[in-house]
């Protein structure tokens, strides 16, 4: 994994403490909050590898509420990161991209301008309409 962290603070003993900045407030839908935690945990694992120090926790900072939410980097989160990495490796090996979700999480996604999930959804709808356009049974 590679990436650029928003902020990395350092404890007095040199232990890194990742802080990930997010849009919105701390009151996010559970499945979106879980993605934020997974990203933070991935940063923690990278920082552990870089520094050789155990990273036990980090924080998500929400821009709208200007509040931090402390996140423990648990074994379950670490396993989730490993699972996500394995999933991405499989996609890369197979040379395919997952389809866009075009859902609630897209609204706050930093990739939405590049990904354009609504355009693809509209394209799929057009293909479906075209399939039935000249079908007299429809
Ligand atoms: S905008 Fe694209 S990359 Fe972002 S969440 Fe939606 S489908 Fe995924």
**Same domain, yes or no, for 48 and 1?**
yes
Does 19 share its domain with 68? Answer: yes
Which H/E stretch holds residue 129? helix 117-133
Q: Which residues pair with residue 21 across a beta bridge?
A: 61
Same domain, 73 and 124: no
Give the torsion through C-alpha atoms of 62, 63, 67, 72, to 10 deg.
30
Q: Looking at the structure, do residues 36 and 92 belong to the same domain, yes or no?
A: yes
Calculate the CA 34 to chain-centre distance. 9
Q: What is the mean pLDDT of residues 16-44?
A: 87
Q: What confidence tier does 104 reach under pLDDT thresholds 50, 70, 90? A: confident
Q: Whose CA is nearest to atom 1 of ligand 1?
A: 112
Q: Which of 112, 119, 121, 123 to mutate to test the pocket of ligand 1 (most atoms within 8 A of CB)?
A: 112
Number of domains the chain contains: 2
pLDDT score, position 71: 97
Residues with CB under 6 A from ligand 1: 100-101, 105-106, 109, 111-112, 115, 117
> Residues 78, 125: one domain?
no
Which are the contacts of 68, defined by CB distance < 8 A and separation ≥ 6? Answer: 19, 59, 60, 61, 62
pLDDT at 132: 79
Tell me which residue range forms the domain holding 129.
Answer: 100-138
pLDDT bracket for residue 105 (50, 70, 90): confident
Q: Are residues 57 and 120 in the same domain?
A: no
pLDDT value, residue 41: 98
Q: Give the whole-angstrom CA distance, residue 17 versus residue 43.
A: 9
d(CA 8, CA 3): 12
**Same domain as 17, residue 50:** yes
Q: Tell whether 63 and 16 lie within a shared domain.
A: yes
Report whether pLDDT(15) > 90: yes
10 and 46, same structural domain?
Answer: yes
The DSSP letter of residue 98 is P
Does residue 106 share a domain with residue 41?
Answer: no
In this structure, are 73 and 107 located in the same domain?
no
Specify the pTM.
0.79
């Amino acid at each position: 994994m590679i990436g650029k962290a928003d902020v990395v603070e350092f404890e007095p003993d040199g232990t890194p403490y990742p802080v990930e900045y997010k849009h919105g407030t701390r009151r996010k839908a559970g499945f979106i909050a879980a993605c934020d935690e997974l990203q933070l945990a991935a940063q923690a694992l990278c920082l552990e590898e870089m520094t050789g120090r155990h990273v036990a926790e980090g924080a998500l900072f929400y821009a709208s509420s200007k509040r931090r939410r402390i996140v423990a980097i648990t074994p379950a989160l670490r396993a989730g990161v490993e699972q996500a990495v394995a999933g991405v490796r499989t996609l890369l090996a197979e040379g395919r991209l997952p389809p866009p979700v075009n859902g609630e999480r897209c609204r706050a996604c930093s990739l939405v301008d590049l990904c354009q999930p609504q355009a693809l959804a509209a394209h799929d709808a057009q293909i479906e309409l075209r399939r039935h356009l000249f079908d007299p049974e429809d």
